[in-house]
Amino acid sequence: MNVHVLAVRGSPTLATSESTHLPMTKQINLVINGKGGVGKSFFATNFVQCLKDRGHVHFAIDSDHENSTLKRFHPEAEFINLEQRREIDRVFTTAETCDLLVIDCRAASTDLFLDFFDEVGLAEVLRTIDARLTVVCPVNHEADSVEQVRILSDALGDGCRWVVVKNEAHSDTFKLYENSKTRRYLLDALDAREITMPRLYDWLVTALNEHNVTLTAALNRPEFNLLDRQRLKHWQSRFYQELDRAADVLLPIPNSIQSAK
């Protein structure tokens, strides 16, 4: 099955479509924020689950050697060591044969990726393999998370696409981000998308980790009672709706659509 953006009433979504046999512009999604604890792995884990649930062929990469959350919940994910340049190469060599990549970046990896992109000439590499890069930046209520987005957006600018994920895990107030010059630059100059990752109760996150099950798997597990399964189902539905709002910059697109733009 090939994967492409499916137009539903004029809006792309993450819904699955039948094979069209059209060549794809490849999509690389880099989930990154140099600050730890902002929800990178939680987002990546559930984003990959959405791709699975909706039948999108993809390749997942985990770069967190300490926690490896993505690989724990999705064992088929590959691990790369960001301290090794040749390991980072695998992001792009993999993209030569796969239309859709998701990379969960560990904390304190911003400089590693920016240095690598400068070393290899990111724009030319993307053109050569016919790929788009989308930088997915979770943010929370803390100033450090916003500063990391500033560093990334100042360095990469319009050389990629942008999705900012407002993570409500610890607060649903994002005053520092929303009042920042960084946000204005992202929205006005870089056409960034903003989506929300709703808060999931701590006891449910703990239970998912204790049983090492994805949210989708938990919906059919007796360890989760009826009401908690309903909570999980409702959270997942809301999160998937948020992903749909940014589907056009998260999924590969047929070259025929790209050429028409």
Domain that holds residue 87: 23-199
SS3 138: strand
Structure confidence by residue, pLDDT tens digits, 30-49: 999 999 999 999 999 999 99
Split into its structural domains, the chain has a count of 1
pLDDT value, residue 22: 61
Residue 117 lies in a domain: yes
Listing DSSP states for 39-59 in one string gives: SHHHHHHHHHHHHHHTT---E
Residue 235 lies in a domain: no
pLDDT value, residue 198: 97
Residue 246 lies in a domain: no
Domain CATH for 116: 3.40.50.300
Residue 231 lies in a domain: no
State the Cα–Cα distance between residues 11 and 216, nearest whole angstrom: 25
pLDDT value, residue 258: 52
Q: Which residues of the chain have pLDDT under 50?
A: 1-11, 17-20, 259
Place of tokens 């938990």: 218
Structure confidence by residue, pLDDT tens digits, 207-238: 999 999 999 999 999 999 999 999 999 999 99
